[in-house]
Structure 1
Amino acid sequence: MYEIAQILNNNVVIIWDHGRQKAIAMGKGIAFQKKKGDFIAKKDIQNLFVLRNEQSEQNFSALLKDVPIDFITTSYEIVEHGKLKYRFPVQEYIYATLTDHIYFSYQRIMNHEYVTSMLPDLSEQYPVEYQIARDALTIIKNKLAIIMPAGEVANIAYHFINAKGITTQGRSSKLSVIKDTLTEISQFLQAQDISRDEDGNLYDRLMIHIKYAIDREPEELSSDDLAEHFREKLISQYPQAYQIAGQIFNIITSKAGIILSSNEQVYLTIHLQRLLQRKQEKR
């Protein structure tokens, strides 16, 4: 039996597992006529995703503010599928970044703004990651009744390529560089009157994106083809966000000694525009 910590809807609850860790439990009608503190039988749970640490809980809570629960649980199921079926190790942040990507892609499709990215085909180098991505499209179709474009296979595969849980030599030194770089970026954003106070959720997701963009190995960086589709639109519609993204790039190059792809400037601009827009709404 598991104790209910929070009810999200009739089919999804947060529970305390036997190790007193929080977990997301899914099952048809699992929370019907139940309340916080009630118990759920193990046999009624169809899927269980453990929130292993405080960061996992924070990421999940942040997603809940902006993303429908069905998209979150579907993304979590994709990650767990990759881990269990293919024994693919991942870093914890992929739960947040993959969810964010899938929901954002869905929104672009619904708004008729979706543009297929021209990422290089790395399926021969990363066959497992690409197979997980192909499975992901099937899971999305079954769980959300959404048919994603075939180009999403490469996009989702890149998330798994970047998030593969591998420990390398010099990791401690690299983490120090990342920390120093993020500190300088945070100070720069404050100078631009952008702080976590405006919207902790959006700000945290921006910093998470920057952190793991820096953390990738150089050969894992995507090409600039996607950026070409968006560059002129971003410059004309979001000039301030685009300019700030470019200055963040300069900080990353200076502090971390790496050059990110132009695609990353697209993603950073979108994150920054959300923050700037939220800031204007609060005025």
Structure 2
Amino acid sequence: MEAVYLLLSIASAAVRSTFLSLILAVRSLFTPTIPPPPSSSSSVLLYEGHVHHVRRKPVHHSFNYPVRYALIDLDRSPQPAHLPADRARGVASTAGRVLLLTIPASVGYEQNPLSVYYCYDEEDSLKMCIAEVTNTPWGERVMFSFSPGSDLVAKPLHVSPFMDMLGNWNIHANAPGEDLFLAITVQHPEHGNYFSATLSAKRICSTSDSLKLAMYFWLMPHKVAVWIYLQAVKLWWKNVSFLGHPKYTNPMYRDKALARDRELHCSGHSGKDSDGTRDRDDRKRWCVWRDAEWPWS
């Protein structure tokens, strides 16, 4: 039945995106060209780069695809589908600006495996990050805080039917500038560091123009979805075991993930802040989930 839902959702997204793409094309033809605003007044920075995945066990599998991201100043350009700036500051206990790294929705479709909030203090130093991870095709989401620079987080979400829930995520994230880099390594009790994913990108330009953003990210979420489904087919073809969603076999998997994460903190494996100091082991990590919507619920 889930396969039927998946095919119907793909068909619906294709029809809707085709229609909205035609509207976007007409809009671009009849909208006068406006010079881009100065960089200092722009609320969105545009990045272009590559995502690279490497799996080492039980089979070797790797791929690389081009991607475009936006770094959005949430105080100047709020995003309704994400945390508002004040909420992010409350979670991070900061008082400075909040930047969101994400792939904006395009022609009625959104696909964001990972978005990151960068939370700065009043001196404009990066103090805390918030990850927003969404799984495919279910559309479940988990948001959790982590220390910039490096942090170790117990895996809280079933992101792939070809991975179990036993691994920890070793996350590396630095303050974005001209270059942007993110890396996640999966540390598994049996397979070791058997999987890694990286995002490397360079800043291209800045803008506040909605039409330019729409054209820049046209079909970008769709391309990411195609890559996800294509790699899933390749892993299945390589006989990698398909694992059902843990909510059917282990309904308490979220509570167990939080318990494992507390153990990581208590054992001194929490990460380091951007200034190199050890994160407080007694601090409880902020972590919340959003359930899948119908028909996946």
TM-score, normalising length: structure 1:
0.27
Question: Greater helix share, 1 or 2?
Answer: 1
Q: Scaled by the length of structure 2, what TM-score is found? A: 0.27
| Larger RCO: 1 or 2 (CA < 8 Å, sep 6+) | 2
